[in-house]
Chains A and B, each alone.
Chain A
């Protein structure tokens, strides 16, 4: 099992450019999450999904969109990148039991110039 993988690992964008971050999991998990982590801070939830075809807003959703067309994939999109979106982005997944642990991916380091 690869667990949770994220693509790409690093990316540099110019202000106004768009991009999509891909998260994939091979554990057949129902729940998937996108977090961002700024230097010295904890993780903040951007969007999450409780199943294929569903998405919901988290704590800091503005400037981001997501899609969950397939159960194993969760995409995070930035339509018009801003320097404030410079961060490390983590994807996570967990099974449907509410006490299951979350499994995190390795992260994507994004810099917006």
Chain B
């Protein structure tokens, strides 16, 4: 299984752009990279998923370089409500059935 490494915690202020980088040196060829968000006392929620280059949705952008050994989740203009834990993990490729969660990155947004 591809092992991921993320910063344990990050601090930011409202209105700033936040970039969380995750390293996954031994990611498998067929794996996508998926990011989940978890608020206190709630289950994780899917944010974004990508394979290579850049993906953008209404919530975030995901940058994956050509070597795919890392990925960066970008949250534009964060607000207090973005305070959460963010998990980066390889998506289950065909044949693998479950996700492997690490400890994630705890983002604290200050006013």
A interface residues, Cβ below 8 angstroms from B:
4, 31, 33, 35, 40-45, 48, 50, 56, 58-59, 90, 92, 98-99, 101-107
Contacts and interface: CB of A to CB of B under 8 A. Distances in A.
Of A33, A59, A98, most B-chain CB atoms within 10 Å: A98
B98 A45 contact: yes
B94 A98 contact: yes
Interface in B41-93: 41-46, 49, 87, 91-93
Interface of B: 32, 34, 41-46, 49, 87, 91-104
Given A90-B43, A104-B43, A107-B41, A42 B97 contact: no
A77 to B, nearest CB: 19
A48 B103 contact: no
A59 B104 CA distance: 18
Given A31-B97, A98-B93, A98-B96, A42 B87 contact: yes
A35 B98 CA distance: 10
A36 B102 CA distance: 13
Contacts of B96: 98
Contact of B34 (A40, A56, A58, A101): A101
